[in-house]
């Protein structure tokens, strides 16, 4: 995760997210479904690399989607690297050095989109241009999307309990240990997936996993991702029992995912209108954290789902 070139956020693990959220008024918006937007632009993601395939075939599309989210009001954009791994690229015939370069490229593309956005901001005197795009010269973070164990397999393993019982719990502890022992300077957040509002997909209690995140000084936020909206409220409350760190919320629409076909099953999720009402409940649940003086919440959105891109920040703030 990195600050903008203007030095708006200092890269201190203990304060970077808290300071950033205060600059955002207590609520920061992450971009939404990168892969979905890439597919809308014609990208074929039926590939083990998923959206990372576009790093090879169409980086201009990745850059365009990043820019669209920034113009829709996103404060944080995530790289096209969730399913990008050294092993995955090597399986495509790339050397280790080339694979590492592709991982770096995902960050570089996001930085390029941010630079383009800032140039647009400098070219306009007001916050909104004639197309109602948000052009506000604000601090923007770039977050490297790191997939969980199993994501490399590209078979939905990270959404199931097919990995040995207890391993995922140990994995989370291992991630925390690596951040501490390797003295990694880049701050990180931990985010968990739940199917029932109580446990993560491995069967471990979310409370236990969130406790690990709370104990690691390099982890600056903790939250939930890729989980149905109906479970998010209870999951936020669970996290708040053991963590005083900012809350991250990155739900899906509640649809079922077909890992074999790599697509969401239609008519199994919530409508855009219902999702808007859920977002307000998420924010209210995350807002009252006893150890933090201001509202701290990070949420995601889709480009065109919430009454138009430019409306979302005003609704939440």
Span of 111-125, 135-149, 247-261, 300-314 with lowest mean pLDDT: 300-314
**Cα–Cα dist 248/282, whole Å:** 10
Query: Is residue 101 included in any domain, yes or no?
Result: yes
Is the dihedral angle over the CA atoms 209, 211, 213, 215 positive or is it negative?
Answer: negative
The highest-confidence range among 122-126, 127-131, 171-175, 221-225, by mean pLDDT, is 221-225
Query: Is residue 2 included in any domain, yes or no?
Result: no
Tell me the backbone φ, ψ of residue 257, rounded to 5 degrees.
Answer: -105, 130
The highest-confidence range among 121-135, 177-191, 224-238, by mean pLDDT, is 224-238
Confirm if 48 and 91 have CB atoms less than 8 A apart. yes
Query: Is residue 10 included in any domain, yes or no?
Result: no
> DSSP 3-state helix, strand, coil percentages of the chain (rounded to 5)?
45, 15, 45
CATH code of the domain covering residue 193: 3.20.20.330
**Distance, CA of 250 to chain centre:** 6
Residue 93: pLDDT band (50, 70, 90) is very high
Span of 1-5, 46-50, 112-116, 220-224 with lowest mean pLDDT: 1-5
**Distance, CA of 278 to chain centre:** 18
What is the reported pLDDT for 162?
47
Query: Is residue 317 included in any domain, yes or no?
Result: no
Query: Is residue 4 included in any domain, yes or no?
Result: no
Instruction: State pTM to two decimals.
Output: 0.80
Range of the domain at 244: 16-311
pLDDT per position as a tens digit, 105-119? 999 999 999 999 999
What is the reported pLDDT for 136?
85
Strands (E), the chain: 27-30, 76-78, 141-143, 188-192, 219-225, 247-250, 256-258, 263-265, 297-300
What is the reported pLDDT for 316?
39
What is the reported pLDDT for 166?
45
Number of domain units in the chain: 1
Query: Is residue 166 included in any domain, yes or no?
Result: yes
Which DSSP letter does residue 291 get?
Answer: T
Q: In the predicted model, what is the mean pLDDT of residues 228-255?
A: 87
232 three-class SS:
helix
The highest-confidence range among 85-94, 159-168, 196-205, 223-232, by mean pLDDT, is 85-94
In sequence order, what are the residues at sequence separation of 6 or more whose Cβ sits closer than 8 angstroms to the Cβ of residue 314?
none
**Cα–Cα dist 53/44, whole Å:** 9
Which DSSP letter does residue 43 get?
Answer: -
What is the reported pLDDT for 17?
84
**Cα–Cα dist 57/193, whole Å:** 30
Residue 97: pLDDT band (50, 70, 90) is very high
Query: Is residue 117 included in any domain, yes or no?
Result: yes
pLDDT per position as a tens digit, 11-63? 566 678 888 988 888 888 899 889 889 999 999 998 889 899 999 999 999 99
Q: In the predicted model, what is the mean pLDDT of residues 230-245?
A: 90
The highest-confidence range among 8-22, 110-124, 128-142, 292-306, by mean pLDDT, is 110-124
Residue 273: pLDDT band (50, 70, 90) is low
**Cα–Cα dist 55/77, whole Å:** 16
Q: Which residues pair with 190 in a beta bridge?
A: 222
Query: Is residue 5 included in any domain, yes or no?
Result: no
Residue 279: pLDDT band (50, 70, 90) is confident
**Cα–Cα dist 296/105, whole Å:** 31
């Amino acid at each position: 995760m990195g600050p903008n070139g203007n030095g708006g956020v200092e890269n201190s693990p203990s304060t970077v997210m808290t300071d950033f959220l205060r600059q955002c008024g207590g609520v920061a918006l992450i971009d939404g479904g990168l892969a979905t937007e890439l597919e809308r632009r014609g990208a074929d993601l039926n590939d083990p690399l998923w959206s990372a395939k576009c790093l090879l075939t169409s980086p201009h599309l990745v850059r365009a989607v990043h820019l669209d989210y920034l113009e829709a009001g996103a404060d944080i954009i995530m790289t096209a690297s969730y399913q990008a791994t050294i092993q995955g690229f090597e399986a495509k015939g790339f050397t280790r050095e080339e694979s590492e370069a592709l991982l770096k490229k995902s960050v570089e593309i996001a930085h390029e989109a941010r630079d383009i956005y800032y140039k647009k901001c400098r070219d306009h005197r007001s916050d909104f241009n004639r197309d109602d795009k948000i052009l506000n010269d604000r601090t923007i973070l770039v977050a490297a999307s790191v997939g969980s164990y199993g994501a490399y397999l590209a078979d939905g393993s990270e959404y199931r309990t097919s990995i040995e019982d207890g391993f995922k719990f140990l994995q989370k502890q291992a991630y925390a240990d690596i951040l501490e022992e390797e003295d990694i300077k880049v701050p990180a957040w931990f985010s968990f997936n739940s199917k029932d509002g109580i446990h993560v997909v491995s069967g471990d209690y979310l409370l236990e996993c969130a406790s690990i995140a709370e104990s690691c000084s390099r982890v600056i936020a903790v939250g939930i991702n890729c989980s149905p909206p109906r479970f998010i409220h209870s999951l936020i409350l669970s996290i708040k029992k053991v963590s005083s760190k900012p809350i991250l919320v990155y739900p899906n629409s509640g649809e079922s995912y077909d890992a074999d076909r790599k697509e969401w099953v239609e008519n199994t999720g919530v409508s855009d209108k219902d999702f808007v009402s859920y977002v307000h409940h998420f924010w209210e649940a995350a807002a009252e954290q006893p150890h933090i003086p201001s509202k701290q919440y990070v949420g995601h959105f889709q480009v065109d789902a919430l009454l138009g891109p430019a409306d979302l920040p005003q609704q939440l703030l």
